Amino acid sequence: MRTDDNNFDFLYAEEVSKIPSVFRCGKKRFIAAIIIMVISLGFGLYFQYLLSNTVDLVQTPPVDGYVTGFVDFNYTYLLLTFASYLVLALTILWLVVSRLYDKQAYSKAAKLATMVFLNQRHKMLVTWKQGNGDY
């Protein structure tokens, strides 16, 4: 259905203003989110590499001829890796939620603009019919 662009722009701006300001994803925020994602992915991979290099097998005294032990590693790198991937996941979640809010605002504005267009068309047809004596 064809809609009037002026009505749609106004209604879309109104619907976007209802979105919480945290989730309004403009061009600058989108670029910043992509940069944060790339940096946190890089740090996560780097800390994961450091974590795998700090693995150390600690052997305990043999029991009945069996060599036992446990794997020990630097827990600092584990926490840093977890934090980096957590930042990555939160950024992705923020992008998804902001995209959903924007999509919802677009669909509401499109529906309202279509209703306005149909209302204007109905008024025009009623006026035309009254002028021609068909009504």
Domain boundaries, given as residue ranges, for the chain: 5-132
Q: Are residues 91 and 39 in contact, defined by beta-carbon separation less than 8 angstroms?
A: no
Instruction: Look at residue 67 and give its three-state secondary structure.
Output: strand
127 or 99, greater pLDDT: 99
Q: How far apart are CA 110 and CA 24, in angstroms?
A: 19
- The number of residues making up the chain comes to 135
pTM for this model (two decimals): 0.73
pLDDT band of residue 2 (cuts 50, 70, 90) is low
135 or 98, greater pLDDT: 98
Q: Are residues 7 and 94 in contact, defined by beta-carbon separation less than 8 angstroms?
A: no
pLDDT band of residue 121 (cuts 50, 70, 90) is confident
* C-alpha 2, offset from chain centre: 30
For the chain, what is the mean pLDDT? 86
pLDDT band of residue 119 (cuts 50, 70, 90) is confident
Comparing 4-13, 21-30, 117-126, the range with the smallest average pLDDT is 4-13
123 or 98, greater pLDDT: 98
pLDDT at 133: 66
